[in-house]
Amino acid sequence: MRANRKNSIRTWGARLWTAWDLPGRISRGRAGLARAWQAWRADPRGHLARPFRRLGRALPRLRCREGAVVLVVGGLLVTLSVWAWVQPPKHYSETEERGLAWYLDPKWEDLADGSFAGDFAQHTQDQFPLRDSFRTVKGLSALKLLGQKDLDHLYQAGTYLAQMEYPLRPEMLDHAAKKIQWVYDTYLAGTDVTCYLSMIPGKNAYLAEEYGYPSLDYGELFQYMRAHTPPMEYVDITDLLSLEDYYNTDSHWRQEKILDVAQRLAGAMGAEIDGPEAYHVQRLARPFTGRYAIQMGLTMAWEDLYYLTSPTLDQCLVAVYDQGGRPQRKKVYEVASGHLNYPYVLFLSGSKGLVTVKNLQAPMDKNLILFRDSYGSSLAPLLASGYRTITLVDLRYLSSDQLDQYIDFEDQDVLFLYSTLLLNNSLSMR
């Protein structure tokens, strides 16, 4: 049986060998390779140019439109490919305010476990030539050409850019409320501190309904937080705010527009602060492009950023604590940082875990602990004239179980001031 199978296989093999002329094919293939090698050795440059000459002879035979497509697409691919490999890698994107992935020499273990492919793919995305320009084209095409209502939950309404706050997330509100309750029970209960609560509605509250976008029930959010946090005096500031109090391209409020908010908060806490006549309006020389414009790729959208100075603020001492708990001397307005980075960081160096503002000329020895998010950076300077020391705490960057290492909770006013953007996405609170 095995002998018959072997004979059958040999017979079919011989037939295929003869029918397909395999010896001739092999011989002609060798001869072709030999001729190609000889041609390469005789004229390497001409050999490399031959495909392009053939393409040049073929293009006239193509229709005009097809030829243009071949030239444009081919030229674009070749140009971008060469550009991507030749340009030096960028480590930071000023428009996106984040570090960029860049290619490192691959290691054998990276190739073996497959991680190199993912790292290289991220590198090609972050280091792609004209990345910012393509992001701009994408944003404009989605909103203007394709008529999309939003781009990754960001939308344009008139001259404003905003983020949809929807739906209401009870689990997020519960997480924020429990964090505030834990801070109160651990550090504040049984002391002589007076606690206050206030909340800042997002810009979406003044845009969504008018332009037909979904929006959460802000009244329900405020009621939920008040019901699930410790008994504190609630200071309502929503009636003082309007759409014009926010930046067009960013989520934050304008410092020059919230003097009345500072007055109400200070009055509720029994502090006397400077009035509007004490301040001088200063304009940042650099155009301000907000977070929303950056995320949508619309980096050509910009506006002016103003900040308020006064003799009181000029003599205030600011300390920003690093991750090791070491204080670093800073200014109330870090204008140089505003020129180099995201401009809003000029307000008390931006979002930091722990910041102190000391007013050496305070009329009374009154102190404030401000639990806040990034909105508090521009508000705190307006409260500085009424307090000896203001301590700003951001639980996104400083764990709540470390507070007693830096803060004395005796004889203080305590204000919990949070935006609805953070309360409805509160997992970052530690």
DSSP of 251-273: SSBPGGG-HHHHHHHHHHTT---
Report how far apart, in Å, the C-alpha atoms of 423 and of each of 171, 175, 225, 237, 411 are.
10, 9, 9, 16, 28
Average pLDDT over residues 12-37: 67
Rounded Cα distance, 80 and 198, in Å: 52
Q: What is the DSSP string of 280-315?
A: EEEE-SSPB--HHHHHHT-TT--B--EEEE-HHHHT
Output the pLDDT for position 55: 62
Residue 134: pLDDT band with limits 50, 70, 90? low
Is there a contact between 383 and 369 (Cβ–Cβ < 8 Å)? no
**Which range among 107-116, 266-275, 375-384 shows the weakest confidence by mean pLDDT?**
107-116
Query: How much is the pLDDT for 172?
Result: 95
Q: Give the separation between CA 378 and CA 381, rounded to whole angstroms.
A: 6
- Which amino acid is residue 108, in one-letter code? W
* Mean pLDDT (the chain, rounded): 83
pLDDT band at 49 (very low <50, low <70, confident <90, very high): low
Q: Kindly report, residue by residue over 210-240, the tens digit of the pLDDT.
A: 888 988 899 999 999 999 999 899 999 999 9
**Angle in degrees, CA 76, 81, 83, rounded to 5:** 95
The alpha carbon torsion through 344, 252, 312, 388 (nearest 10 deg) reads: -110
Annotated domain spans of the chain? 90-128, 155-428
SS3 content of the chain, % helix, strand, coil (to 5): 50, 15, 35
323 burial via Cβ count (<10 Å: 0-12, 13-18, 19+) = exposed
Q: Please determine, for residue 59, whether its predicted confidence score (pLDDT) is greater than 70.
A: no
Copy the structure tokens of residue 239.
Answer: 């009636």
In the prediction, which pLDDT does 102 show?
66
Q: Are residues 350 and 330 in contact, defined by beta-carbon separation less than 8 angstroms? A: no
Indicate the pLDDT class of residue 318, thresholds 50, 70 and 90: very high
Please give the Cα distance from 243 to 67 (Å, whole number): 53
Quote the CA–CA distance of 387 and 367 in Å, as a whole number.
5
Pick from 68-82, 375-389, 398-412 the range whose average pLDDT is largest.
375-389
Report for 25-39, 325-339, 364-378: range of highest mean pLDDT: 364-378
pLDDT of residue 53: 66
What is the spatial distance between Cα 314 and Cα 322, in angstroms, rounded to a whole number? Answer: 23
- What single DSSP character describes residue 144? I
Instruction: Average the pLDDT over 372-390 and give the result.
Output: 96
> What pLDDT, in 10s, does the model give residues 267-317?
999 999 999 999 999 999 988 888 888 888 777 668 999 999 999 999 999
Locus of tokens 């959460």: 216
Torsion, Cα 397 400 401 402, to 10 degrees, reads: 50
pLDDT of residue 246: 96
